[in-house]
Amino acid sequence: MSQLDDLRLFVRVAEAGAISTAARTLGLSPAAASAALKRLERRLDARLFERSTRSLRLTPAGEAFLGHCAQALEVLDGGLATLRHGREELSGDIHLGAPSDLGRGTLDAVLEDFRRRHPQIRLILHLADGMHDLYRNPLDLVLRYGGLRDSSLVARKLCDNHRVVCAAPAYLARAGRPATPAELAAHNCLCFYLSNGLYDRWRLTLDGRQYEIDVRGDRAAADGALVHQWALDGHGIAYKSRLDIRADLAAGRLVDLFPRAACEPAPLYAVYPSRRHQPARVKALVDDLERTLGPERAPA
């Protein structure tokens, strides 16, 4: 490994908090990564990590060096990307994580144009509801609804978005349409499991009144795409992201039950590690997603 490789490894270990995790993302064995860190410490004549059998943490010297090291690598990588830009066609793999429903619907359609314009790029989609682990899995980019608590990651807002209380015409013909949000409590509502439990309290504001409705239904799932399909099949009322169902609303397959309501916001973000250089192909994809999804900033 070169000195630059050792520095990149140091930054990756500091981000991941574990040598084995960082080594895996760089294609190294844990033993080789550990040896490289020791070599870097000898070269710097400074101890960068405090090691024990159960933990790994930066020393004060490591904390001080990390910021300078990460910044220097970003500047260097940015310069290299500038040299390559314009003389090379964008190519390579992009591992993209996204919520299941977004990935199977709106996102897949949006990505088709990107694929046509960049045929040398292979998009590899990792679809799952919940937060993807960018350190344990080799993901270049993750799309998610809502902000972040982890300050070691960067979240770039792609577009505004909000939830919609929706149902299929078949369900409304059978069960009736709720006149107010309060009446949702008497309907069969299709709930979604989040990482912190069942999402069965729906919040929205209509005509100046705030509602918090505890809903119930005969089914729930930890898969947003399945909840979406249940709504289309007429099994009940769902509280879905507008991005996920915008085509169904436009086609009349689903109905927005309270179009004047201010429902819960669910802005879409692109998330990536803060200290890792973003390849030109990944930046091009993020820029394209922001441009393409931009109209959702002012949902109808």
The predicted pLDDT at position 299 comes to: 38
Mean pLDDT of the chain: 87
Query: Which residue type, as a one-letter code, is found at position 4?
Result: L
Hey, is 73 helix, strand or coil?
helix
| Domain match, 42 and 21 both | yes
Where residue 8 sits, what CATH number does that domain have? Answer: 1.10.10.10
| Domain match, 275 and 153 both | yes
Query: For residues 291 and 288, what is the distance between their CA atoms, to the nearest angstrom?
Result: 5
| pLDDT above 50: residue 298 | no
CB 209 within 8 A of CB 226: no
Reported confidence tier of residue 104, pLDDT bands at 50, 70, 90? confident
Structure tokens at 43: 């070269």
| pLDDT above 70: residue 134 | no
User: What are the residues facing 122 on neighbouring strands?
Assistant: 93
Q: Where are the alpha helices (DSSP H) in 132-223?
A: 169-175
Chain centroid to CA 142: how far? 4
Positive or negative, the CA dihedral 132, 236, 258, 243 is: positive
| Domain match, 152 and 275 both | yes
Taking only the tens place, the pLDDT of each residue in 49-96 is 998 877 788 999 999 999 889 888 888 877 776 666 555 678 899 999
The predicted pLDDT at position 194 comes to: 77
| Domain match, 174 and 237 both | yes
CB 265 within 8 A of CB 239: no
| Domain match, 239 and 181 both | yes
| pLDDT above 80: residue 278 | no
| Domain match, 171 and 150 both | no
295 or 260, higher pLDDT: 260
Rounded alpha-carbon distances, angstroms, from residue 174 to 12, 168, 171: 56, 10, 5
Query: For residues 143 and 127, what is the distance between their CA atoms, to the nearest angstrom?
Result: 10
The residue written with tokens 């399909």 in the block is: 229
Q: Range of 104's domain?
A: 92-158+268-297
| Domain match, 39 and 174 both | no
Reported confidence tier of residue 300, pLDDT bands at 50, 70, 90? very low
Query: For residues 292 and 294, what is the distance between their CA atoms, to the nearest angstrom?
Result: 6
CB 41 within 8 A of CB 13: no
Positive or negative, the CA dihedral 75, 278, 69, 86 is: negative
Q: Which of 115-124, 193-202, 280-289 has the lowest mean pLDDT?
A: 193-202
Give the count of beta carbons closer than 10 Å to the beta carbon of residue 40.
20
| Domain match, 221 and 172 both | yes
Query: For residues 160 and 299, what is the distance between their CA atoms, to the nearest angstrom?
Result: 8
Where residue 238 sits, what CATH number does that domain have? Answer: 3.40.190.290
The predicted pLDDT at position 274 comes to: 62
Taking only the tens place, the pLDDT of each residue in 227-274 is 999 999 999 999 999 999 999 999 999 999 999 999 999 999 998 876
The predicted pLDDT at position 21 comes to: 87
Boundary-marking domain end, from 84, 115, 135: 84
Taking only the tens place, the pLDDT of each residue in 41-50 is 999 999 999 9
This prediction's pTM: 0.67
| Domain match, 276 and 152 both | yes
Query: For residues 235 and 188, what is the distance between their CA atoms, to the nearest angstrom?
Result: 8
CB 98 within 8 A of CB 158: no
Query: For residues 242 and 178, what is the distance between their CA atoms, to the nearest angstrom?
Result: 19
| Domain match, 72 and 205 both | no
- The structural domain count of the chain equals 3
